[in-house]
A = this chain, B = another copy of it.
Amino acid sequence: MARTLIIDTIKKVGETIKVAGWVQTVRSHGKITFVDLVDRSGTLQAVIEGDCDLKPFDVVEFEGLAKERPEKLANPNISTGFVELEAQEATILSKAQELPIDMGAKDLELHLPTLLDHRSLTLRHPKIKAIFKVQEALMEGFRKAAKEMDCTEVFVPTISASATEGGAELFRFPYFGNVAYLVQSPQLYKQMMVGAFERVYLTSHIYRAEPSVTTRHLVESIQLDFEIGFIEKFEEVLDALEVSYSILVGYAQDMCAEELKLLGVEPSLVSAKVPRLKMREAQEIVFERTGVDHRNEMDLMPEDEKEISAWAKEEHNSDLVTITHFPTKKRAFYSMPDPDDPEYTLSFDLLFKGLEVASGAQRIHNYDKLVETIESRGMDPENFEMYLQAFRYGMPPHGGFSFGLERTTMKLLNLQNIREASLYPRDMERVDFSFSKKGK
């Protein structure tokens, strides 16, 4: 007999069917036992005569009669709550050992290290699974936005020959008698692609070897990138940023309404109409609101990001706010200086509920200017030869940005730590398990 997915049992009342999944709960009432069975599509109550030897997370197959459940006993919260299976035959496909964690609890109230040490188990909890269904939808929303923007998807490497961009530290490794690095960003490659495809998007793993532990950084994370050629002005890049981010978040919220409800998360206020402030304006507002004077700082502090997001929410009913015009000295060499005030760049960050989730800029597209900028920063243009090649042979004005997948997941779902938004997070202390625990 072919397996029926639990969600499809609704259509099979009165039929003998086979279902398969994981035992979620077992309630013995002496003469009969109730088993909640879960598969990828839903949850179903099975009724077994007498006692049975089933335990949570046993993998089983039940054959039996699909029946309508008496109305007063039905579970109106789930679509399969009006059906039950009168199980005539049970086959155990795989026995589970005793669980070290109460996976039946409504919330897994575990310390993060415990949660992660048991990740292959804990991610089966409905609320953890929901996080990653939302993450999947964010990625789909990203691709949807990319298609709407007529971008070509490109695939670029994560191994690099030189520590080209400087800045944060890089992982470095022996490479067939030479040395190679893991990229911090696919930035240079996506710009190179503009020379061929005009508008590109890509997904990349990026690596950060900085020896620091925060709630918002991962050593390995997933970055979603756009780069768009033939822009006529800076504002086009901002428009693309805000439209695409509102598409990807909006899509995930639409597709995952059930998951958001399960997680008790209110939908975020995300539209393509995002308030925009220059960094200096933002600092001024923070000063006015809090009296804290960061007006001479070269960047927004984390607490400024929180404050300016509070402002955007209060004044513009928006969970997003775009900050532009960061100081040239603080941004990467390829950022276009503002022609009206070259101390600042045509760059931006997007803040989502108090955290930077995206970053980008219009780029320098003139070859000579780019070489000059590289040299003025004490770097060697020879290390950028493949990149510069794209500019040597005609590069249109362009700009782009990137989103952090885990950060977006974290803020959308109000998670406290970015590690909760990564299936198997890597940090200074942990690769699956903490190194100290392994005694290494």
**How many chain copies does the complex carry?**
2
B120 A428 Cβ-Cβ under 8 A: no
B136 A152 Cβ-Cβ under 8 A: yes
- Tell me what chain A mostly uses at the interface: helix, strand, loop, or mixed: mixed
User: Which residues of B are found within 8 Å of A152, using beta-carbon distances?
Assistant: 40, 132-133, 136
Q: Is A329 on the interface with B (CB-CB < 8 A)?
A: no
A219 B20 Cβ-Cβ under 8 A: no
User: Which residues of B are found within 8 Å of A395, using beta-carbon distances?
Assistant: 59, 94
A389 B121 Cβ-Cβ under 8 A: yes
User: Which residues of B are found within 8 Å of A199, using beta-carbon distances?
Assistant: 40
Chain B nearest CB from A235 CB (Å) reads: 14
Q: A180: nearest residue on chain B (CB-CB)?
A: B431
Question: Residues 359-391 of chain A: 1 if any B CB is under 8 Å from the residue's CB, otherwise 0?
Answer: 000000111000000000000000001110110
- With contacts A197-B129, A198-B39, A424-B156 known, is A394 near B432, CB below 8 A? no
A396 B97 Cβ-Cβ under 8 A: no
Q: Is A27 on the interface with B (CB-CB < 8 A)?
A: no
- With contacts A57-B394, A120-B387, A390-B120 known, is A405 near B155, CB below 8 A? yes
Which of A66-74, A171-179, A287-295, A298-306 lies at the interface? A171-179
Within 8 A of B (CB), among A195-210: 195-199, 203, 205, 207, 209
Q: A178: nearest residue on chain B (CB-CB)?
A: B435
Which of A44-52, A158-166, A237-245 lies at the interface? A158-166
A392 B123 Cβ-Cβ under 8 A: no
Q: Is A415 on the interface with B (CB-CB < 8 A)?
A: no
- With contacts A99-B393, A120-B192, A393-B121 known, is A135 near B155, CB below 8 A? yes
Distance of A21 Cα from B93 Cα, bound (Å): 61
29 intermolecular pairs with C-beta atoms under 8 Å apart: A3-B230, A40-B198, A59-B395, A93-B396, A96-B394, A123-B193, A129-B196, A133-B152, A140-B153, A143-B143, A155-B405, A156-B424, A157-B425, A158-B205, A159-B426, A161-B438, A171-B173, A171-B175, A172-B173, A172-B174, A173-B182, A175-B431, A176-B429, A178-B440, A180-B431, A189-B423, A189-B424, A205-B205, A385-B432
